[in-house]
Amino acid sequence: MASGSVPSMMVSANEQAKAAAAIGWTHQTIAYDGTVTDANAKLEQAIAERPTVVAIAGVPPAAMQQPIASAQAAGVVLSLSGVTEAPSTFPGYAAASQGPDTQEAAGERNAYLALKASGCNANVLVLSAPVQTLKPTTDKFQSVLKQLCPQCKSSYSEIQFADIGSPAATSKAVSALQVDPSIKYVYAAFANLVNGLQSALDQAGIDGVTVFGTTPDVQAMAALKSSKNPGWWVTVSAELDGWFTVDAALRALDKKGPVFTGAYPVGVLTKANAPASSDDIPSFPTNFRELLTTLWTPAV
């Protein structure tokens, strides 16, 4: 399952389909509108079909207790990513990946890079979405920034899922920069939050702003390669997310018990090492699909 309003979630869902095909499974994606209410309804819809695994990202287990109970009763494994609570049952909520360690690592690396880029004189607008599972990355970023650079500043703002990629999102960021012109850095918890921001900054006549963050998309890569944005992106990869979601489910099925695979590798993309094509967003290790398929093959 994936929120249709967040492109990176759809990328993860597409990669789950590839991972499923690699082990001879079928796959179906169900989109939800980003709200907990609709997520619960669509989870119940999926579980009623009694598949082997149902996967969803970014929704904490506490917000979907009824679907977890339904999955347990139906013998279905729920595989979650981007959550902090460990799995506790099999079947039911039995598998998890990309825990807080991954998000905290991304936040910490972004803080170090912001400190270096600003000469330890950063004023940062932190953009996120109203999702509990994004808090580890933004909290870690702000705590490291404050700890290592007491004179640095940061402010936090949330974009609603329905506004992602729309003028409402870019207007909110532009307004914050107009109110406080000393803000020269914008940190996005995931790149979809700043889609269209560079054009909006150009229209508002705002120069000298560095946009950076986590989980780059095609637009973020194109902006990175332009001459206007000297930023960077930490690759909490949506592609890796899809494959590790399936990997966690397979491990739970093999163990017949709950499995939390935790963190996965992250990298840093800058102008210096960005691929020639903006459509090419590398995940590290770059051969992760082959590595995981080889790992799974003996068990298939």
CA distances from 59 to 36, 86, 169, 190 (A): 7, 13, 22, 16
**Binning pLDDT at 50, 70 and 90, where does residue 4 land?**
low
- Identical topology for domains 2-98+237-265+285-299 and 102-234: yes
**Structure tokens belonging to residue 178:** 């107009």
**Structure tokens belonging to residue 257:** 């018990």
pLDDT tens figures, 10-51: 999 999 999 999 999 999 999 998 889 999 999 999 999 999
More confident residue, 11 or 114: 114
Given this model, what pLDDT does residue 211 score?
95
**Structure tokens belonging to residue 226:** 């332009």
DSSP the chain: -EETT-HHHHHHHHHHHHHHHHTT------EE-SSHHHHHHHHHHHHHT--SEEEEES--GGG-HHHHHHHHHHTPEEEEES-SSPP--SSEEEEEES-HHHHHHHHHHHHHHHHHHHTS--EEEEEE-S-GGGHHHHHHHHHHHHHH-TT-EEEEEE--GGGTTSHHHHHHHHHHHHH-TT--EEEESSGGGGTTHHHHHHHHT--S-EEEEES--HHHHHHHHSSS----EE---HHHHHHHHHHHHHHHHHHTS-EE-------EE-TTT--SSTT----SSTTHHHHHHHHHGGG-
For residues 1 and 208, the answer to whether their CB atoms sit within 8 Å is no
For residues 191 and 8, the answer to whether their CB atoms sit within 8 Å is yes
Give the mean pLDDT of 247-269.
Answer: 93
The mean predicted confidence, pLDDT, of the chain is 93
**Structure tokens belonging to residue 98:** 């990309």
Amino acid at 166: S
Q: Where are the domains of the chain?
A: 2-98+237-265+285-299, 102-234
DSSP-derived pairing of the beta strands 185-188 and 123-128: parallel
For residues 137 and 185, the answer to whether their CB atoms sit within 8 Å is no
**Binning pLDDT at 50, 70 and 90, where does residue 300 land?**
very low
pLDDT exceeds cutoff 60 at 63: yes
DSSP-derived pairing of the beta strands 31-32 and 53-57: unpaired
**Binning pLDDT at 50, 70 and 90, where does residue 53 land?**
very high
CA dist., res. 11 & res. 78, Å (int) = 19
According to DSSP, the residues that pair with 268 across neighbouring strands are 234
CA dist., res. 95 & res. 150, Å (int) = 40
Question: Is 102-234 a CATH 3.40.50.2300 domain?
Answer: yes
User: Which of the four CATH numbers 3.30.1780.10, 1.10.3720.10, 3.20.20.450, 3.40.50.2300 does domain 2-98+237-265+285-299 have?
Assistant: 3.40.50.2300
Give the mean pLDDT of 206-233.
Answer: 89
**Binning pLDDT at 50, 70 and 90, where does residue 225 land?**
confident
What order do you get walking across the sheet with 77-81 strand by strand? 53-57, 77-81, 92-97, 259-260
